[in-house]
Structure 1
Amino acid sequence: MRRSAVIAFCFGLLVLPAAGLAQQPENIVLTDETKQLTPHLWAIFGNPNIGIVVGSKGTLVIDTGLGRRNGVTVAAAVAKLRKGGNLYLATTHFHPEHVTGQSGFPAGTVVIRPTVQQKEIEESGIGMIDFFRSRSDVNKELLVDAGIDKADILFDKEMTLDLGDVTVRMVYYGPTHTNGDIIFLVDPDKAMISGDIVQNKFVILPIGTQTNIHGWIKVLDRVAELKPTLILPDHSPPGDLSMLPEQQAFMTDLLEQAQAAKKQGKSVEDTVSSLSEEFKKKYAGWLRPGNLTRAITQAYKEAQ
């Protein structure tokens, strides 16, 4: 996608906030407080949640926070946990709160990404950074010098990183939230860092140029085969394997209801209006209800 198209896309989000990226939590400025979740996995909770996998021969950090300042904070927290060896950084997807803190990490950090995600960063990253800058004065300050960063190692579908007494399997199953989202499986802990692919009671939002709800459900089928016992998402609380069928049920419900409305001859506007109210009641307490407008619009588009 050309940069001008990306900017136009982001402008559309600005003038229609209910239909675009959800309202961000206030904890966009991360702290260096870490919490241990499994023998090898720590987390910094914020927007987004940061995963830190510590092994005897290396450490992997998953996501960076928004801008260099957050990257420095995350790197300082990681320095207290490391046991030696290389420091690695990988990112769940290309959105600014996940990638733009890369410049805050120390020299020598080895950055790993799937090829499709790096391509998405280079094609759409600047437009998305500009959009995030426009959302608040805090964002503008955090992203003052943000730009497009490169990866040291690229992979296509899958890569396993050996950190000594723990391994991390990084897998790309196809477009979901964005074109290049990936998941991370930590063994022997049976822990998963799921990014936006699997969330905990959270209204999902396909936002990539190649994403759709049907494809996302198929990816969840493959993710379920990994059988994690703990899942750390990036914008919702940790949970267990039950998050997967719960999210699939929500997405299936969304598709079925939109299809029924379309068959009845309802317009997309009427469908959004009626289903938004219904889903807010049916899924009361779910995070990011503001995503419903765009999610229902996508489901209506996919309906036969």
Structure 2
Amino acid sequence: MARAFASQADLEEKQITFEELADGLYAYTAEGDPNSGVIVGDDSVMVVDTQATPAMAQDVIARIRQVTDKPIDYVCLTHYHAVRVLGASAYGAKHILASQGTYDLIVERGQQDYQSEVGRFPRLFQDVQSIPGLTWPTLVFDHKMTLFLGEREVQIMHLGRGHTKGDTVVWLPKEKVLFAGDLVEFDATPYTGDAYLRDWPKTLAALRALGPEKLVPGRGAALKTAADCEAGIAGTQAFVTALYENVAQGVQAGKPLKDIYDTTFAALQPKYGDWVIFEHCMPFDVSRAYDEASGLDHPRIWTAERDVEMWKSLEQADKAAEAAQQQG
């Protein structure tokens, strides 16, 4: 019997936390499940990342309505992944904001990513039938867009490639609060299946240069001091650097992917093995690192079929190794 994705065994519901980080700025977090952010302006609200389905977005909306009755006019997508964007229709926003890179990825691979992610992590797609289709941005920018929600300044920026080629952060310069998307994780394993691993540390340096004093990561608890923000940025940087360096060494030595996966998993597990979704992410992470170290700059598209093939190949290799040990 084929071994299922590690995430398919994760059925435990998470405790939601909705907390105010500064006046009108909120973090919606869920013990390592995908986070959302809320910015309450003078006349309207912006939501940063939507949750995976319109049904799941209703909980975010309910918590917003506990603190304001202002309309939710803006939704900002930090990147294109289905778990971040497919709840957007629930908000009835006038504008859906995204970088040009994110828009391009939705065009290129949005449907495949939708089908892939639902298969990998079904718990995160509650009431999946409530999704009306792909989420399409209505306002697209290249590098930076500044909005004013009344007198509140909101900077929306693409500072470089990392988790994807279109990563967007939302920065409140007066309050020094950063909504970082999956460029930063905290006590949660970065998913790098669509990443640019050599670029990611440079993009994190650009985030660090902003000087955030509070930060909402893509996964994990909200960070409430400058020191905690640095810990989140540095921890993410250390993981992606160690991942790529270990895989690149194996590629340079001419080792097969399965051997590189085993050695990289063993190298990273002592430090990162207790981070959320470590076992789920590592096969995807090593596969992308292997491609990048082998010269493939643009990530290959993950389809539901490719997901299954990758997991089967790992399982078959494990079984072959076990059989060889028994025969020996």
TM-score where L is the length of structure 2: 0.76
C-alpha contact 1:43 1:51 (8 A) present in aligned 2? yes
Residues 7-40 of structure 1 deviation map (CA, whole Å, 9 limit, x = unaligned): xxxxxxx98836xx89767448x96x63212223
Please name the residue that 2:46 is paired with: 60
CA distance in 2 between counterparts of 1:118 and 1:86 reads 21
Secondary structure of the corresponding residue to residue 206 of structure 2? helix
Equivalent AA in structure 2 for residue 213 of structure 1? L
Mark the CA change 1:202 to 1:133 in structure 2 (over 3 Å): closer, same or farther.
closer
Are 1:219 and 2:206 matched, yes or no?
A: no
Deviation at 1:87, TM superposition (A): 2.2
Report how far residue 267 of structure 1 moved: 2.7
Q: Give the Cα–Cα distance (whole angstroms) in 2 for the partners of residues 35 and 64 of structure 1.
A: 17
Tell whether 2:282 aligns with 1:282.
no
Q: Where does 1:1-304 land on structure 2 (aligned, <5 Å)?
A: 17=5, 26-27=12-13, 34-46=18-30, 47-82=33-68, 84=70, 87-106=73-92, 109-134=94-119, 135-136=121-122, 139=125, 141-208=127-194, 211-239=195-223, 240-290=229-279, 291-303=281-293
- Name which one, 1 or 2, has greater alpha-carbon Rg: 2
The residue type equivalent to 2:287 in the other structure is T
Task: State whether residues 50 and 87 of structure 2, in contact with CA within 8 Å, keep that contact through their aligned partners in structure 1.
Answer: yes
Q: Which runs of 5+ in 2 are unaligned?
A: 224-228, 295-328
Query: For residues 283 and 138 of structure 1, what CA distance do their matches in structure 2 show?
Result: 22
Match of 1:272, SS state, is helix
| Matching residue's letter, 2:205 | D
- 1:26-76 alpha-carbon deviations (Å, 9 max, x no partner): 448x96x63212223112223321100112233211111121212333233
**Distance in structure 1 (CA, Å) of the matches to 2:71 and 2:58:** 19
- Aligned-residue offset at 1:100: 1.3
1:245-303 CA distances to partner (integer Å, 9 max, x unpaired)?
22222222223333333444433221211221221113342222122233233334444
Distance 1:138 1:201 in 2: 19
Q: Is this contact kept in 2: 1:230–1:241, CA < 8 A?
A: no
What is the root-mean-square deviation in Å for CA atoms of aligned residues?
2.9
Length-normalised TM-score, structure 1: 0.81
Change (3 A) 1:84 1:204: closer
The answer (yes or no) to whether the contact 1:57–1:86 under 8 Å persists in 2 is no
Q: Deviations over 1:135-175 (max 9, x none)?
A: 53883733444302333322111111112342221111233
Mapped contact 2:189–2:272 kept (Cα < 8 A): no
Segments of structure 1 that go 5 or more residues without pairing to the other structure are 1-13
Give the Å deviation of 1:85: 6.7
> What SS does structure 2 have at the residue aligned with 1:87?
strand
Decide whether the 8 Å contact of 2:29 with 2:220 is kept in 1: no
Q: Which residue of 2 aligns with 1:3?
A: none
Aligned residues: 284
Alpha-carbon distance in 1 for matches of 2:186, 2:100: 27
Alignment identity in percent? Answer: 23
